[in-house]
Structure 1
Amino acid sequence: MTSQDTTLAASASRLPQERRVVTEIPGPRSRALHERRLAAVPPGVGSVLPVYVTDADGGVVVDADGNSLIDFGSGIAVTNVGNANPRVAARVKAQAERFTHTCFMVAPYESYVAVCENLNRITPGDHEKRSLLVNSGAEAVENAVKIARYATGRQAVVAFDHGYHGRTLLTMTLTAKNMPYKQGFGPYAPEVYRMPLAYPYRWPTGPDDCGPEAAALAIEQITKQIGPTNVAALLIEPIQGEGGFIEPAPGFLPALAEFSRANGILFIADEVQTGFARTGDLFACEHEAIVPDLVATAKGIAGGLPLAAVTGRADIMDKVHGGGLGGTYGGNPLACEAALAVLEEIEEGKLTERARRIGEIMLPRLRALATRHPAIGDVRGRGAMIAIELVREGTKEPDPELTARIARRCHENGLLVLTTGTYGNVMRFLPPLVISEELLTEGLDVLDAAFES
């Protein structure tokens, strides 16, 4: 993509890039498969839409009944390069034919080192870095906290309202939302403290003063309630994911980063959902020139294979004793090859520019939709990480019931969308960065029709 050509050209795709509804959704084959699921899988493992996928490529997923749905979910920001990327598939296939596992801690291999070298190069900051590879976003966050505690000799960790960091004991504790993530699973991990977030749409004095006021309040509470010298790390998503795609008001993150530096607190950016070109920058914290001490990444890193990482300042990462970090499957060779392919696709395919173009298309359409439908209280996001917040008309009272109805109507008409938010009233849109402009526009048409109906 050049500065003169900002359209989203359709990439060469194995499947037709089209919405095709041939049965009701879910159809009979998916319903039959769902009956098998109910007998085999516990109900605690949820699904957004019980259609059973048989194929996927580019911007579409195809179900067992032959329906082709436009994908506005990307496996929750995982398949940024598409869910059947040829470069990813080729590298994984070639690696699988050589070996699938040795455990890097037993007999290492080059691809693990190459992924770490790339992460050290592309994450924010020009300081010397080290990277550790693990399996999931929750594991990356846990390791970042472990490293911060070890390096500082402190125990307290500060997290924020509306944050989501995972489902393990520590990351569940760090997560703000009770239902469904925490209900009944306590007791929780100690020395975790929660502070207010600069949520522009819901800040009491309005969005204009939100950033400075929220930062000052958080800093005051940290100082009074915990004591800065007891805090090992401040952990935050540069844009809240499961909390509702909340983009903190300008100035909030820089103020917290400055406070952390001044008090020997390590600033951890949870870029699990926001990383790898999703927001129009390689990493969301770049938008306000934030240079974290540690960065946790996952999701979009390996095109759908399980891989995650912690990247941080070398002087911090090198403190941990030998054997204190690692895991049997961390940095599996198949996932490492996939990650190297993803990084090539991002750079050669100019996917940061494509993400920005997706935002340029989506945001005006959604703002126009909001002018016609007062139930849309807020439109927000950056790049290809966009959301609308639904409320009861004339108020800011969350309307999760309407949100669910709109999502269901989209699903019935061949558009896969996700809901989210602390109050369950946010629709989030995460199209693959390789989606064509035509398919993106058609997806927005389906959403528009869902509101009209």
Structure 2
Amino acid sequence: MTATEDLIASAEAHSAHNYHPLPVVVASARGAWMTDVEGRRYLDMLAGYSALNFGHGNPRLIEAATEQLGRVTLTSRAFHHDRFAEFCARLARLCGKEMVLPMNTGAEAVETAVKTARKWGYRVKGVPGGRARIVVAANNFHGRTTTIVSFSTDPEARADYGPYTPGFDIVPFGDLGALRDAVTEDTVAVLIEPVQGEAGVLVPPPGYLPGVRELTRERGVLFVADEIQSGLGRTGRTFACEHEDVVPDVYLLGKALGGGVVPVSAVVADADVLGVFRPGEHGSTFGGNPLACAVGLEVVAMLETGEFQQRATELGEHLHAELGLLAGSGKVVEVRGRGLWAGVDIDPSHGTGREISEKLMERGVLVKDTHGSTIRIAPPLVISKEDLDWGLDQLRAVLG
């Protein structure tokens, strides 16, 4: 038995089977490349579902984390620490907002947004107690907590976890008419992903996001944009909403905010929204800890230069042009996405998304499938054009 086989067998024996990873065991990584326990190198074309926008082992982020590790890593929010104020102020400024509520994971940010919207609805909008409702989109992916799966339409994420949390209305993604019909006097928020990642990198039709913004303003409802996967440079802008000049009331951030080093998430909004909280009403022992703030500050500093957004724009145009040629050849049914992010629907005659992912792995490229014959491509934003082209060459070879 090889080292890879031994480690996979041990993982299968001693860990819950809530994931079905590709049969590769990573031992080290730098930039856009990972190396397994056998010494074989792989081009990372997934980037931890956008958590690794700045690449593996980014020197600036590792330096920031290392320096902070030698000082203090955790105080809890029972005390102030010297990185917290600057992190909140700089992140708020990046978002064009006033306040930040830091958490750890993306799901925690979404849960926090649900609580924020409901409390805002009762305290500010005046919705009668216990009646607040939130409108969401079908095929969404906001996390896997019991409340979040209550408004999922994915049977794998939802089945067998009831009873489900009430208070949510589901409408088709991209359908403004259905959204307008769903909003009532009891609606406190519309929660959507500007680009639906897990669903296959689905981009809404032009005018949809501006329409959501106009409708929510008109009806006195919060527009909450889940930019956990789409934000922080992935689509070629700091936020995916910017592609249509839309500014939501609330940004939900995560994944890349921790630089692939530590889990960092945040809810970012103005004081008239986040100001509804009082001490003791919501919290997190690790949320906003010194190590997280140090790494998050460096992430913000890197995004403030615009360098990574520009790379995602330029390389993204090249990625989509090359994938478009594959679509024209009939080997690919459809390509969707923005920036350095694509959902590629493979012609089923060439295999399932899982089978294509396994064949790419054999050729040294790591991607992940979703929903049948779709694969997602989202390399670190630091990938070189030469490496990107090499990865695309492997996809062409797999498709024949």
TM-score range, shorter chain: over 0.9
Identity %: 36
Could you tell me whether the CA contact under 8 Å between 1:419 and 1:428 is conserved in 2?
Answer: yes
Could you tell me whether the CA contact under 8 Å between 1:164 and 1:174 is conserved in 2?
Answer: no
Q: How far apart, CA to CA, are the structure 1 residues paired with 2:71 and 2:216?
A: 46
Q: Which residue of 2 aligns with 1:10?
A: none
Q: 1:390: Cα distance to partner?
A: 3.0
Q: Which residue of 2 aligns with 1:209?
A: none
CA offsets 1:275-331 (integer angstroms, 9 cap, x no match): 110100000011111111111100010112111000012111112222212210111
1:79 is the counterpart of 2:29? no
Helix, strand or coil at the partner of 1:159: strand
Could you tell me whether the CA contact under 8 Å between 1:165 and 1:174 is conserved in 2?
Answer: no
1:215 is the counterpart of 2:215? no
CA offsets 1:370-421 (integer angstroms, 9 cap, x no match): 12234x221111111112123557xxxxx9x52222111101111000112x
Q: How far apart, CA to CA, are the structure 1 residues paired with 2:167 and 2:284?
A: 25
TM alignment of 1:37-186, pairs within 5 A: 37-44=11-18, 46-103=19-76, 105-123=77-95, 125=96, 128-153=97-122, 154=127, 155-179=132-156, 181-186=157-162
Q: How far apart, CA to CA, are the structure 1 residues paired with 2:348 and 2:169?
A: 32
Could you tell me whether the CA contact under 8 Å between 1:162 and 1:244 is conserved in 2?
Answer: no
Q: How far apart, CA to CA, are the structure 2 residues paired with 1:243 and 1:381?
A: 11
Q: Which residue of 2 aligns with 1:309?
A: 266
Of 339, 344, 358, the residue aligned with 2:315 is: 358
Could you tell me whether the CA contact under 8 Å between 1:302 and 1:338 is conserved in 2?
Answer: yes
Could you tell me whether the CA contact under 8 Å between 2:94 and 2:304 is conserved in 1?
Answer: no
Could you tell me whether the CA contact under 8 Å between 2:354 and 2:368 is conserved in 1?
Answer: no
Q: Which residue of 2 aligns with 1:35?
A: 9
Which amino acid in the other structure matches residue 160 of structure 1?
A
Which amino acid in the other structure matches residue 445 of structure 1?
D
Q: How far apart, CA to CA, are the structure 1 residues paired with 2:306 and 2:21?
A: 30
Q: 1:337: Cα distance to partner?
A: 1.0
TM alignment of 1:53-452, pairs within 5 A: 53-103=26-76, 105-123=77-95, 125=96, 128-153=97-122, 154=127, 155-179=132-156, 181-198=157-174, 214-220=175-181, 222-223=182-183, 228-304=184-260, 305-348=262-305, 350-374=307-331, 376-392=332-348, 401-420=351-370, 423-452=371-400
Q: How far apart, CA to CA, are the structure 1 residues paired with 2:2 and 2:236?
A: 39
Helix, strand or coil at the partner of 1:80: coil
Which amino acid in the other structure matches residue 432 of structure 1?
P
Provide closer, same or farther for how the CA distance between residues 218 and 349 of structure 1 changes in structure 2, counting only shifts above 3 A. Answer: closer
Q: How far apart, CA to CA, are the structure 1 residues paired with 2:303 and 2:116?
A: 29
Helix, strand or coil at the partner of 1:433: coil
Q: 1:252: Cα distance to partner?
A: 1.2
CA offsets 1:225-273 (integer angstroms, 9 cap, x no match): xxx2110110000000111110000111211221111111111000000
Q: How far apart, CA to CA, are the structure 2 residues paired with 1:135 and 1:39?
A: 29
Q: 1:164: Cα distance to partner?
A: 0.4
Q: 1:50: Cα distance to partner?
A: 2.8
RMSD between aligned residues: 1.6
Helix, strand or coil at the partner of 2:353: helix
Which deviates more, 401-410 or 253-262? 401-410
Provide closer, same or farther for how the CA distance between residues 35 and 102 of structure 1 changes in structure 2, counting only shifts above 3 A. Answer: same
Gaps of 5+ in 1: 1-26, 199-213, 394-398
Q: Which residue of 2 aligns with 1:207?
A: none
Q: 1:28: Cα distance to partner?
A: 2.2
TM-score normalized by structure 2? 0.94
Matched positions, count = 391
Q: How far apart, CA to CA, are the structure 1 residues paired with 2:219 and 2:212?
A: 11
Could you tell me whether the CA contact under 8 Å between 2:91 and 2:300 is conserved in 1?
Answer: no
Helix, strand or coil at the partner of 2:344: strand
Q: How far apart, CA to CA, are the structure 1 residues paired with 2:241 and 2:197?
A: 14
Which amino acid in the other structure matches residue 130 of structure 1?
M
Provide closer, same or farther for how the CA distance between residues 289 and 313 of structure 1 changes in structure 2, counting only shifts above 3 A. Answer: same
Could you tell me whether the CA contact under 8 Å between 1:148 and 1:233 is conserved in 2?
Answer: yes
Provide closer, same or farther for how the CA distance between residues 129 and 176 of structure 1 changes in structure 2, counting only shifts above 3 A. Answer: farther
Q: 1:349: Cα distance to partner?
A: 6.7
Provide closer, same or farther for how the CA distance between residues 424 and 115 of structure 1 changes in structure 2, counting only shifts above 3 A. Answer: farther
CA offsets 1:429-450 (integer angstroms, 9 cap, x no match): 1100001111111000001111
Q: How far apart, CA to CA, are the structure 2 residues paired with 1:339 and 1:428?
A: 26
Q: Which residue of 2 aligns with 1:21?
A: none
Gaps of 5+ in 2: none
Which amino acid in the other structure matches residue 177 of structure 2?
A
Helix, strand or coil at the partner of 2:83: helix
Q: How far apart, CA to CA, are the structure 2 residues paired with 1:381 and 1:285?
A: 13
Helix, strand or coil at the partner of 1:319: coil
Q: How far apart, CA to CA, are the structure 1 residues paired with 2:311 and 2:361?
A: 25
Which amino acid in the other structure matches residue 357 of structure 2?
A
Helix, strand or coil at the partner of 1:229: coil
Could you tell me whether the CA contact under 8 Å between 1:129 and 1:314 is conserved in 2?
Answer: yes
Helix, strand or coil at the partner of 1:98: coil
